[in-house]
């Protein structure tokens, strides 16, 4: 009985702790003062830039390791190809030093048919070996050259990563300096510092997870959009080799809410070239705004790019938006809807997404 009471007390304490943790930074009942909002946005950006620096540092380390492995492999290939080069050189020298004439005279001077056949077979065998040697050298040289091109590409990537790392570090230092100056001149430095600390803790423990969950749910739902389009009358209209796909925002809301119940608290709207998702589930408010573009590499696709991401009234930095784009694919692939079609244009206006498709 004593153990049961103890367990119940521990459970109650845990539940109370969790409820307080989630309630650290609820959806704001009133708008924040503009100066405080900007300060909190900068504080949130510091956390996200720090996360981006960690990601880039990891990428830099992986790229450096790959370059070292590539350089070692290329050095080994150079030794192997040096042997092939010597063999190929011997073959070429034999051609230019008169061995062709030797074989030709041997063929002409054969005294009998069996001798002629033996000379021919021997010559054929040597020529085949020569071709094989030259072919091996050419193939190995091609592989080596491709390896050096790849190594050059990797070193260029590493240089770009290092520049990005320097830029993000400078950016975070500037933001941190601005935060320190704002805190130093504020009337209530302790209150603002506490608010920023709570925001950062809430974002790390709850906010980022919630935002990623919404992006993951969107990405999973988009995989099933072609099936929804096929079975919904009026979305696809064909005229000869041209096909037009028109989805209204009410249809998109119907589709997404049918895919995941969390979208019951959110609304999607097409307008002025943008798709806007906005909602409030009681714990967080999220606004995602972006646009679609046509891309043909590595395949024809309608890609979604996040232009704005607002969490509980605070705008998240570009690094967060780019990171979510990398991790979650919110695009649409026309060839999963109809084979042999390509998207030519995409527009969003008056509550509609309009995609022009062409067979090709």
Q: Are 345 and 208 within one domain? A: yes
Q: Are 141 and 272 within one domain? A: no
Q: Are 327 and 354 within one domain? A: yes
Q: Are 228 and 159 within one domain? A: no
pLDDT at 339: 81
pLDDT at 202: 87
Residue 21 lies in a domain: no
Give the bridge partners for 27, in sequence order: none
pLDDT at 16: 34
Percent of the chain at pLDDT > 70 equals: 74
- Which runs of consecutive H residues, i.e. helices, occur in 97-112? 99-108
Q: What are phi and psi of 158, to 5 degrees?
A: -65, -40
Residue 237 lies in a domain: yes
Residue 266 lies in a domain: yes
In this predicted model, what pLDDT tens digit does every residue of 260-301 receive, in sequence order?
Answer: 988 998 899 998 899 999 988 877 889 999 999 998 888 888
Q: Are 159 and 271 within one domain? A: no
pLDDT at 57: 87
Q: Dump the DSSP string for 276-299.
A: EEEEE-SS-EEEEEEEEEEE-SSS
Distance CA 49, CA 42 (A): 10
Contact in structure between 262 and 245 (CB atoms under 8 Å): no
Q: Are 206 and 348 within one domain? A: yes
Beginning with the edge strand found earlier in the chain, give each strand of the sheet holding 242-248 in spatial order. Answer: 236-239, 242-248, 352-359, 341-349
In this predicted model, what pLDDT tens digit does every residue of 200-215 receive, in sequence order?
Answer: 888 888 888 888 988 9
pLDDT at 93: 53
Distance CA 50, CA 63 (A): 20
Q: Are 159 and 276 within one domain? A: no
**Boundary of a domain, candidates 127, 144, 179:** 179
User: Above 90 in pLDDT, residue 219?
Assistant: yes
In this predicted model, what pLDDT tens digit does every residue of 40-85 receive, in sequence order?
Answer: 888 888 888 888 888 888 888 888 888 888 888 777 777 766 666 6
Peptide bond into 298 cis (omega under 30): yes
Beta strands in the chain (DSSP E): 236-239, 242-248, 266-271, 274-280, 285-295, 301-311, 314-315, 341-349, 352-359
Q: Reduced to 3 states, what is the DSSP secondary structure of residue 312?
A: coil
Q: Are 145 and 243 within one domain? A: no
Write the CATH number for 112. Answer: 1.10.287
Tell me which residue of 257, 274, 273, 265 sits closest to 218, measured CA to CA: 257
Q: Reduced to 3 states, what is the DSSP secondary structure of residue 349?
A: strand
Q: Are 232 and 314 within one domain? A: yes
Q: Are 173 and 198 within one domain? A: no
CA dihedral 339, 342, 343, 344 (to 10 degrees): -150
**Boundary of a domain, candidates 141, 160, 179:** 179
Residue 13 lies in a domain: no
Residue 11 lies in a domain: no
Model's pTM, two decimal places? Answer: 0.69
**Boundary of a domain, candidates 124, 144, 179:** 179
Q: Reduced to 3 states, what is the DSSP secondary structure of residue 309?
A: strand
Distance CA 137, CA 345 (A): 48
- Which runs of consecutive H residues, i.e. helices, occur in 23-112? 34-96, 99-108
Number of domains in the chain: 2
Domain range for 89 is 34-179
Q: Are 206 and 343 within one domain? A: yes
Contact in structure between 133 and 87 (CB atoms under 8 Å): yes
Q: Are 245 and 124 within one domain? A: no
């Amino acid at each position: 009985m004593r153990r049961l009471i103890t367990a119940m007390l521990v459970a109650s304490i845990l539940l109370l702790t969790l409820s307080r943790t989630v309630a650290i930074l609820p959806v704001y009942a009133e708008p924040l003062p503009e100066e405080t909002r900007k300060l909190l946005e900068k504080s949130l950006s510091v956390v996200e830039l720090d996360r981006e620096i960690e990601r880039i540092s990891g990428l830099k380390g992986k790229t450096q390791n790959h370059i070292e492995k590539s350089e070692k492999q290329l050095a080994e290939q150079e030794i192997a190809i040096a042997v092939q080069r010597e063999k190929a050189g011997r073959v070429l020298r034999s051609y230019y030093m008169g061995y062709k004439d030797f074989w030709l005279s041997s063929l002409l001077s054969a005294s009998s048919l069996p001798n002629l056949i033996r000379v021919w077979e021997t010559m054929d065998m040597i020529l085949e070996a020569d071709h094989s040697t030259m072919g091996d050298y050419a193939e190995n040289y091609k592989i080596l050259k491709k390896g050096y091109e790849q190594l050059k590409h990797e070193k260029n990537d590493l240089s770009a990563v290092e520049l990005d790392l320097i830029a993000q570090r400078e950016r975070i230092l500037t933001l941190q300096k601005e935060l320190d100056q704002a805190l130093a001149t504020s009337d209530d430095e302790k209150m603002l510092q506490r608010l920023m600390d709570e925001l950062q803790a809430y974002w790390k423990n709850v906010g980022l997870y919630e935002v990623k969950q919404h992006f993951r749910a969107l990405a999973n739902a988009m995989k099933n959009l072609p099936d929804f389009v096929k079975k919904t009358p009026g979305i696809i209209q064909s005229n000869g080799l041209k096909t037009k796909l028109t989805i209204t925002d009410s249809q998109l809301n119907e589709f997404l809410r049918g895919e995941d119940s969390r979208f019951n608290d959110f609304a999607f709207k097409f307008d002025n070239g943008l798709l806007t998702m906005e909602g409030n589930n009681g714990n967080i408010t999220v606004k995602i705004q972006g646009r679609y573009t046509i891309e043909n590499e590595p395949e024809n696709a309608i890609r979604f790019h996040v232009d704005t991401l607002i969490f509980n009234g605070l705008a998240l930095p570009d690094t967060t938006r780019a990171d979510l784009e990398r991790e979650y694919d919110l695009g649409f692939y026309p060839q999963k809807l109809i084979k042999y079609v390509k998207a030519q244009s995409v527009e969003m206006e008056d509550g509609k997404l309009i995609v022009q498709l062409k067979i090709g």
